[in-house]
């Protein structure tokens, strides 16, 4: 209405990515490319024992190597940071080991040199003497083990719900989330059938192709940190806390990321880089190799036990879920995963009696944290395998069984939150349609057997969280968008520009996105949990509306027609092209705290994510090899901002989940990683990609979303592994309950089913 030339509406159209050209021409700037003047490179010496007291560290040989600038240990860090323990939920992780190490690969000392190769060579010369302590690696064992990873629990002071844990001793249980709805024991007794199964999920790595790195440089009485982070605002707050400084003294810059997937959230290398920069008063770069990432953060390995009561007609009456989350040596965000994913452990089903016990557990493995789906894929692996096993036992069609029990609009979820705009029935229906579920699958004889499977999962968004955006409209009607959302491949710069353009009613090309820089771009909780489209989308929309209101007020004050172009408006006001209008949008999602007695809340999420997967497989009974011929992802995206980007998001999530389902596994022997290299740790390659991938968007407007949109970045990752396991059972009649579904696992299970098991090696 202000701009005379009416632009097209961008929201809903497959606008090409605005950063695409820079990426394909190699011009895109990643943090990986940042070089600071007079920079030192840091290389880390890591623990070789899983649990032990540090008796002595001999750095003399490292120091003596020509070209070494300095060597630092945990004791040196204390000169800068008296209490150098960080973490989003617990302040339990030292910047460099202090007194003790808790997992193999833990950073113990750091060498700095102008030449990174010199630093690496010197790091290998450091000798550490340990007094070894008993260690524990399995999450279920850890609860009864005498090997105690942390002497005392140190929950972060900021979370009131963790305060009661402070100072707890002699336990590896960091957090115990309990949900109590109804009375499952009574309901089990009254059920026609009760099923109980246990499932296992292996540890895997996020494998961003740009490995983690952080650079820091002192800046007057402050510090500037360049970090490949998904959470610049959090890094700023946490570094300021560690240093005892004001937030305004800490400047955190991020950039385009070469993948994040939850690996680059909270603090990873930033505190170490900051401490080293302040110790040396020099710029310092801490960059991991691809392999070092294995020791830095993993997903949560987990054991999930589910017990369900079912009536003869297939109705689920009751469910008890127990989840043991293997958090590794440091809590990272594990306790929040335990709680937030714990909410939805019972699945997308209407069940009257639900008990959930979700345990965040310390072990002597590398720390586990957030990974695409924030615990939900582990849960869906369990509950959707369980679902098919029940349906099969009851001789019911697995789709019909799901449809019978699916949560409907307006029904109450186990937590007490009423379902709104969660397209569970629609996703199931679409899955049935796309998989042609009503037509029998053409089966094959011989050694190659065909099967198909489906699965569905839901996720609640982390809440409450805040996003703030600014839109600065220049006198020529072009605009700059300041937003901390990190474009790490998901296309957020494009989506946010679409929202800004439509709100301001200007052409998309006239919007420039400013990269995250906490001295510049306002607060955002982080780019994670599929929260940005909803939260930052709202903030950008509000900023645009604020700017437009100001432009309209300008037009009114100048007595100009409402359709005056922005350029003319400023020229008329200033007599020349001059001035700015700045719109601000500040959005916080709603949430109701959990009742500590029941673990329930009437509002656990601003929106629900629903993702379903269908697969058709061929299993080679002679080798155990599973080929996936077709993979259908169906996701509820609310109203779509950019269908082109969503399609590639769904493919990406499904393929990443496929890696975890089929091939990826960090293999440990007494806490020691035995395949810590991409030569032995197999991520999906071109030959592992399904022949046919279909991405289906169920567009059912999220009433509360910006333009009706919601997040979808994780949705296609939820249900891949159980859909495949379900298809394998459909093909060869064998049920697998442990991930990954490697040929060996399938072949062993087949032989076991035939009564001639293979010996374990």
* Binding footprint of a second copy on the chain (CB under 8 A): 19, 21-22, 27, 35, 37, 158-160, 220-222, 233, 236-237, 240-241, 246-249, 251, 464-466, 468, 470, 472, 474-476, 478-480, 482, 509-512, 514, 517, 519-520, 522-523, 525, 571, 573-582, 584, 586, 588
536, two tokens: 């930052």
Residue closer to a second copy (CB basis): 26 or 755: 26
Least Cβ distance, residue 54 to a second copy (angstroms): 32
Strand partners, 588: 466
| Residue carrying the six token digits 């790091």 | 123
- What are the structure tokens assigned to 289, written together? 């190799």
- The Cβ of residue 24 has, within 10 Å, a number of other Cβ atoms equal to 10
Measure the CA–CA gap between 65 and 42, rounded to whole angstroms: 15
Alpha carbon of 7 to those of 2, 252, 540: distances in Å? Answer: 11, 35, 18
CB of 266 to a second copy, least distance (A): 12
Number of helices (H), then strands (E), belonging to the chain: the values are 17, 27
What is the three-class DSSP state of 116?
Answer: helix
Q: What share of the chain is helix, strand, coil (3-state, %, to 5)?
A: 30, 25, 45
Question: Which of residues 22 and 209 has its CB atom nearest to a second copy in the complex?
Answer: 22
Residue of 9, 13, 10, 14 whose CA lies nearest to 644:
14
Nearest residue to 56 via CA among 77, 71, 73, 70: 73
Verify cis geometry, omega within 30 degrees of 0, for the bond prior to 464.
Answer: yes
Q: How far apart are CA 289 and CA 226, in angstroms?
A: 17
CA pair distance 8, 178, nearest whole angstrom: 50
Pick between residue 409 and residue 595 the one whose CB is nearest to a second copy: 595
What's the min distance (Å) between Cβ of 744 and a second copy?
45
Note whether 298 and 366 are within 8 A (CB). Answer: yes
What token pair was written down for 693? 């991938």
Provide, rounded to whole angstroms, the least separation between the CB of residue 582 and a second copy: 5
Provide the β-strand partners of residue 485.
Answer: none
* CA nearest neighbour of 210 among 290, 109, 265: 290
* E strand or H helix that includes residue 556: helix 532-557
Beta bridge partners of 633: 613, 695
Minimum CB separation of residue 208 from a second copy in Å reads: 23
Q: How far is the CB of 281 from a second copy (least distance, A)?
A: 10
Instruction: Centre a 10 Å sphere on the Cβ of residue 22 and count the other Cβ atoms it contains.
Output: 13
**Cα angle 743-650-661, degrees, rounded to a multiple of 5:** 20
What's the token pair of residue 6? 């009416």
CB of 2 to a second copy, least distance (A): 16
Q: What are the C-alpha distances in Å from 210 to residues 110, 254, 259, 263, 293?
A: 21, 13, 7, 11, 11
Secondary structure (3-state) at 342: helix
Report in angstroms the alpha-carbon separations of 501 from 11, 115, 474, 539, 733: 9, 46, 14, 14, 54
Which CB sits closer to a second copy, 371 or 479? Answer: 479
302: β partners: 201, 325
State the Cα–Cα distance between residues 355 and 186, nearest whole angstrom: 12
């Amino acid at each position: 209405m202000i701009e005379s030339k009416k632009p097209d509406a961008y929201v809903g159209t497959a606008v090409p990515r605005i950063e695409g050209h820079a990426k394909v021409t190699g011009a895109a700037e990643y943090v990986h490319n940042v070089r600071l003047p007079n920079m030192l490179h840091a290389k880390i010496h890591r623990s070789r024992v899983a649990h032990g007291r540090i008796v002595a560290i001999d750095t003399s040989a490292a120091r003596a190597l020509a070209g070494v600038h300095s060597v630092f240990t945990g004791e040196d860090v204390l000169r800068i940071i008296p209490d150098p323990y960080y973490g989003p939920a617990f302040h339990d992780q030292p910047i460099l080991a202090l007194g003790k190490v808790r997992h193999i690969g833990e950073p113990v000392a750091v060498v700095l040199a102008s030449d990174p190769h010199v630093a690496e060579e010197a790091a290998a010369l450091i000798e550490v003497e340990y007094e070894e302590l008993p260690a524990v690696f399995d999450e279920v064992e850890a609860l009864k083990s005498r090997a105690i990873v942390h002497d005392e629990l140190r929950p972060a002071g900021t979370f009131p719900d963790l305060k009661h844990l402070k100072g707890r001793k002699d336990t590896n249980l960091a957090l115990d989330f309990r949900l109590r709805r109804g009375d499952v024991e009574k309901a089990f007794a009254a059920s026609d059938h009760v099923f109980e199964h246990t499932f296992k999920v292996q540890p895997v790595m996020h494998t961003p192709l740009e490995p983690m790195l952080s650079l820091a440089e002192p800046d007057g009485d402050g510090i500037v940190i360049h970090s490949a982070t998904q959470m610049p605002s959090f890094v700023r707050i946490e570094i300021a806390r560690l240093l005892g400084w004001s937030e305004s003294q800490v400047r955190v810059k991020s950039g385009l990321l070469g993948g994040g997937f939850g690996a680059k959230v909270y603090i990873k290398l930033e505190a170490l880089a900051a401490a080293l920069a302040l110790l040396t008063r020099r710029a310092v770069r801490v960059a991991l190799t691809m392999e070092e990432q294995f020791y830095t953060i993993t997903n949560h390995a987990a054991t999930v036990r589910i017990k369900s009561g079912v009536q003869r007609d297939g109705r689920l009456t009751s469910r008890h879920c127990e989840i043991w989350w293997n958090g590794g040596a440091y809590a990272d965000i594990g306790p929040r995963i335990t709680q937030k994913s714990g909410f939805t452990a019972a699945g997308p089903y209407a069940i009257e009696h639900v008990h959930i016990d979700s345990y965040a557990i310390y072990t002597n493995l590398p720390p586990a944290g957030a990974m695409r789906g924030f615990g939900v894929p582990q849960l869906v692996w369990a509950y959707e395998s369980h679902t098919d096993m029940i349906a099969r036992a009851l001789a019911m069609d697995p789709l019909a069984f799901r449809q019978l029990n699916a949560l409907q609009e307006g029904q109450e979820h186990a937590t007490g939150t009423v379902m709104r705009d969660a397209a569970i029935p629609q996703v199931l229906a679409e899955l049935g349609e796309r998989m042609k579920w009503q037509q029998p699958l053409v089966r094959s004889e011989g050694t190659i057997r065909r099967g198909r499977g489906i699965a569905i999962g839901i996720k609640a968004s982390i809440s409450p969280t805040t996003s703030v955006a600014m839109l600065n409209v220049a006198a020529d009607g072009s605009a700059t968008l300041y937003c901390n959302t990190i474009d790490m491949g998901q296309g957020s710069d494009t989506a946010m520009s679409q929202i800004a353009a439509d709100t301001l009613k200007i052409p998309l090309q006239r919007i420039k996105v400013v990269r995250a820089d906490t001295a510049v771009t306002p607060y955002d909780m982080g780019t994670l949990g599929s929260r940005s489209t909803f939260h930052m989308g709202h903030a950008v929309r509000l900023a645009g509306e604020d700017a437009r209101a100001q432009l309209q007020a300008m037009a009114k004050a100048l007595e100009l027609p409402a359709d005056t172009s922005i350029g003319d408006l400023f020229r008329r006001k200033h007599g020349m092209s001059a001035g700015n209008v700045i719109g601000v949008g500040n959005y916080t999602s709603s949430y109701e705290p959990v009742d500590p007695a029941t673990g329930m809340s009437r509002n656990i999420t601003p929106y629900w994510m629903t993702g379903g997967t269908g697969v058709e497989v061929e299993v080679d009974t002679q080798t155990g090899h599973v080929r996936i011929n077709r993979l259908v992802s169906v996701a509820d995206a609310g109203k779509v901002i950019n269908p082109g980007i969503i399609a590639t998001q769904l493919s990406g999530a499904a393929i990443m989940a496929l890696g975890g389902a089929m091939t990826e596994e960090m293999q440990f022997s007494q806490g020691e990683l035995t395949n810590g290299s991409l030569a032995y740790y197999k991520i999906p390659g071109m030959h592992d990609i399904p022949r046919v991938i279909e991405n289906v968007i169920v567009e059912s407007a999220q009433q509360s979303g910006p333009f009706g949109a919601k997040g979808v970045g994780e949705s296609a990752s939820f249900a891949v592994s159980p859909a495949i396991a379900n298809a394998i059972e459909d093909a060869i009649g064998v049920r697998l309950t442990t991930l990954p579904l490697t040929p060996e696992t399938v072949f062993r299970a087949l032989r076991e089913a035939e009564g001639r098991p293979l010996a374990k090696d």
